[in-house]
Amino acid sequence: MRRLLATAGKEARILGRDRAGLAVLFLMPAVLVTVVAVVQEAALRLMGAPNLKIVLIDQDGGEVGQALRRGLTDAGVFDVLDQVDGQPPQIDNVRPAVAKGRFQGALVLAPGTTERAMERAGRLVDDLVAGRLPTPGPVPGTDVTVVADPALPEAYRKLLRNTTGAVLQGIETRFIVRGFAKTMEARMLDRIRAEVPAVAALAGSIKLPDFAMPDRPGSLLAVDEVAAAKEAWISEVPSSAQHNVPAWTIFAMFLIVIPLAGTMIHERREGTLRRLLVIPGAFVPVVLGKALLYLGVCLAQFALMFAIGLWLLPLLGVPALDLGAAPGGLLLLGLATGTAAVAFGMAVGAVARTPEQASMFGATLVVIAAAVGGVMLPTFLMPKAMQQIAIVSPLGRAQQGFLDLLMRGAGTGDILPHVAWLAAFAAVGTAVALTFYRQRD
């Protein structure tokens, strides 16, 4: 134990005097998580709850325009504008403004849109009542034109088109029902006069049921959205902190490969390892003492990054990191991740021949494992083959575990498979280090 602690203390002094190493381990990840979280939060807000400015150029002035205005506003993602710079909007100045991105889109209602829609509804009803099925086909001309910002993501264009289409379908239905109501009343009276001449004189005095069609008839089916997570505390739109804090923490931990492997190689090349190997029983404390110190560094990184998530990011407009319902699970997973990272660093230090080899090889592997493991991009967006590789990436396993705890309401028991996997990885890495470090000397 004395030798273990002596080695850990020696490594702490060496690392403490390595400013570049400390910057790589602490400053760089802190800056990364802050910048990426703030930038992504803005993007997440736009995707989760966008506020798209849509100019409504109503050249019709009828019911269709009113329905569109109401329907788009009720959708909760559109800001419908009736005026531009205090004036009624004109297509000639609105279209260039949309092209330049001042507005995300515009809807242009051609003159006579409402009248044409009512006429077509009436013809449709006449056909249906007469037993003639309407022939499907495109509606001639253009009644509603959708103009979108060329830079608007496809998802938002679809949102605008689909919402516009849903609102127009609603008003079409209303016109059709109204048409039916009028037609049915007249036809019923004609039928009564024709079939029962005896009461023909009374037909005008018969009161038929009123067919009423409210402006908003309401839904016939109820739709409810519930969170997939077990716990009710999961927020509807996860903040960027929930993904980025654990992701960059894991990345930072595995970056210890650079200083850790470097110190091992220096020790081997400069002869200090030889001096130590003369001492009986010193090899294991020499290796594990380093592991102890760097595990402490990993835990310090974990604390720093989570502290940034809890206290610094809110000052920059990002919702605070929510630690979930299993903080013990977070600590356990952090410890397992740190252990795996240390073992990886030791394995690279034992196998690489020069510090340059270790930093290139080790750092490149970490970036690849991070990318493949879903640290930078969710795994479900990746090709199938890469999703398979993600399962074996220690960074991917750690990231999955943290996401389960922080975003899916998992408990400590739920992440034990990830912890076990990371522990197994650590065991293999340590075995490689103990085997090859001595041999290389």
Partner 1 sequence: MSLLRAESLAKTYRGAAVPAVAGIDLSIARGEFFGLLGPNGAGKTTTLSMLCGLVKPSSGHVRVDGRDLSDPGARRMLGLVPQDLALYGTLTVRENLHYFGRMHDLGGRRLASRVQACLEMVALTEAADRRVDELSGGMKRRANLAAGVVHEPAILLLDEPTVGVDAQSRNAIFDTLTLLADRGLTIVYTTHYMEEAERLCRRIAVMDRGRLLAEGTPAALVAGHPGCETLEDLFLALTGRALRD
Q: Is 110 left (phi over 0), alpha (psi -120 to 50) or beta?
A: beta
Going by C-alpha positions, the residue among 237, 254, 246, 234 that lies closest to residue 376 is 246
Residue 70 contacts partner 1 per CB under 8 A: no
3-class state of residue 294 by DSSP: helix
Smallest Cα–Cα separation from 423: which of 361, 339, 306? 339
355-372 per-residue burial string, b: 16 or more CB within 10 A, e: under 16: beebbeebbebbbebbbb
For residue 21, the minimal CB distance to partner 1 (Å) is: 11
Query: How near is the Cβ of 253 to partner 1 at its closest, in Å?
Result: 23
Asked whether the beta carbons of 17 and 123 are under 8 A apart, the reply is no
79 neighbors 51 (Cβ within 8 angstroms): yes
For the segment 235-294, give every residue that binds partner 1 (CB under 8 A). 269-272, 274-282, 285-286
CB of 24 to partner 1, least distance (A): 16
Min dist CB 270 to partner 1, Å, is: 6
CB of 294 to partner 1, least distance (A): 16
**Distance of closest approach, residue 269 Cβ to partner 1, in angstroms:** 8
Among left, alpha and beta (phi > 0; psi -120 to 50; other), residue 275 is alpha
Burial class of residue 274 in the structure, from the number of CB atoms within 10 Å of its CB (0-12 exposed, 13-18 middle, 19+ buried): exposed
Name 362's Cβ contacts closer than 8 Å, sequence gap at least 6. Answer: 257, 258, 261, 344, 345, 348, 352
17 to 46: interface string for partner 1, x by CB under 8 A: xx----------------------------
Site stretch for partner 1 (CB under 8 A), options 12-20, 122-130, 320-328, 410-418: 12-20
Q: Rounded CA gap, 437 and 307, in Å? A: 36
Strands 144-148 and 105-109: antiparallel
Cβ-based nearer residue to partner 1, 198 or 278: 278
Q: Which is nearer to partner 1, 65 or 289 (CB)?
A: 289
Asked whether 400 and 418 are in contact (CB, 8 A), the reply is: yes
Total residues at the site for partner 1 (CB under 8 A)?
26
Interface with partner 1 includes 14 (CB under 8 A)?
yes
Of positions 1, 2, 87, 218, contacts partner 1 by CB under 8 A:
2
* Smallest distance, partner 1 to C-beta of residue 280, A: 4
Instruction: Candidates 6-14, 148-156, 239-247, 307-315: pick the segment binding partner 1 (CB under 8 A).
Output: 6-14
**CB-nearer residue toward partner 1: 219 or 439:** 439
Binding of partner 1 by 394 (CB under 8 A)? no
Minimum separation from the CB atom of position 277 to partner 1 (A): 6
- 23 secondary structure, DSSP code: I
Question: What residue ranges bind partner 1 (CB under 8 A)?
Answer: 2-3, 6-7, 9-10, 13-14, 17-18, 269-272, 274-282, 285-286, 441
